[in-house]
């Protein structure tokens, strides 16, 4: 699959349709506005977030690839970014979970997702990174209720 073209179409529909993308049904979607670790250019990344109580996470499954998606290194180098969610753009700090915490969350979420199970299996032995999306305090009210 040509991911750049696919992602561009997803982002275009997301912005045009107020945060909704038909091909993902009712699943929520966010767009991370990352900064490239190599070029310094802004790179927008559409992802389906995972919610746990009042926290939002993203999983670096890379569709089950043996390598991390590029955005992982970008977030490790520049963790404070803008995040598009529904019709808002907010500032956030992205924090990588410690390996043990990531494994617990991944395992818990595989119970309800055959696709996640398949991605983790095909990515092995690579360990899939998990990041928490933490809204910065001044903007947190926009995410109340998630």
Residue-wise pLDDT for 54-85, tens only, equals 899 999 999 999 999 999 999 999 999 999 99
Q: Residue range 28-51: average pLDDT? A: 94
Question: How much is the pTM?
Answer: 0.88
| Residue labelled with tokens 């109340």 | 144
Q: How far apart are CA 94 and CA 134, in angstroms?
A: 6
Of 75, 55, 48, nearest in space to 129 by CA: 75
**Looking at the domain that runs over 3-59+70-99+131-141, which CATH code has it been given?**
2.30.110.10
Domain boundaries, the chain: 3-59+70-99+131-141
Q: What pLDDT score does 140 carry?
A: 47
Query: Average pLDDT over the chain, rounded to whole?
Result: 90
Q: How far apart are CA 124 and CA 106, in angstroms?
A: 13
Pairing of strands 130-135, 50-52: unpaired
Q: What pLDDT score does 137 carry?
A: 73
Count the neighbouring beta carbons within 10 Å of the beta carbon of residue 46: 20
Q: Which residues lie closer than 8 Å to 65 by C-beta, 6 or more apart? A: 122, 123, 126
């Amino acid at each position: 699959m040509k991911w750049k073209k696919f992602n561009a179409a997803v982002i275009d529909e997301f912005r045009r349709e107020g945060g909704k993308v038909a091909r993902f049904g009712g699943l929520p979607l966010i767009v991370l506005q990352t900064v490239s670790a190599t070029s310094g250019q802004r790179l927008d990344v559409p992802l389906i977030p995972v919610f746990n109580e009042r926290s939002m996470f993203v999983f670096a499954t890379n569709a089950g690839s043996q390598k991390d998606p590029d955005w992982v290194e970008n977030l490790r180098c520049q963790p404070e970014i803008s995040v598009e969610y529904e019709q808002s753009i907010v500032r956030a700090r992205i924090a990588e979970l410690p390996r043990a915490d990531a494994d617990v969350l991944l395992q818990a979420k595989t119970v309800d997702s055959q696709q996640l199970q398949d991605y983790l299996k095909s990515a092995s032995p690579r360990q899939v990174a998990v990041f928490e999306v933490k809204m910065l305090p001044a903007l947190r009210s926009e995410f109340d209720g998630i």
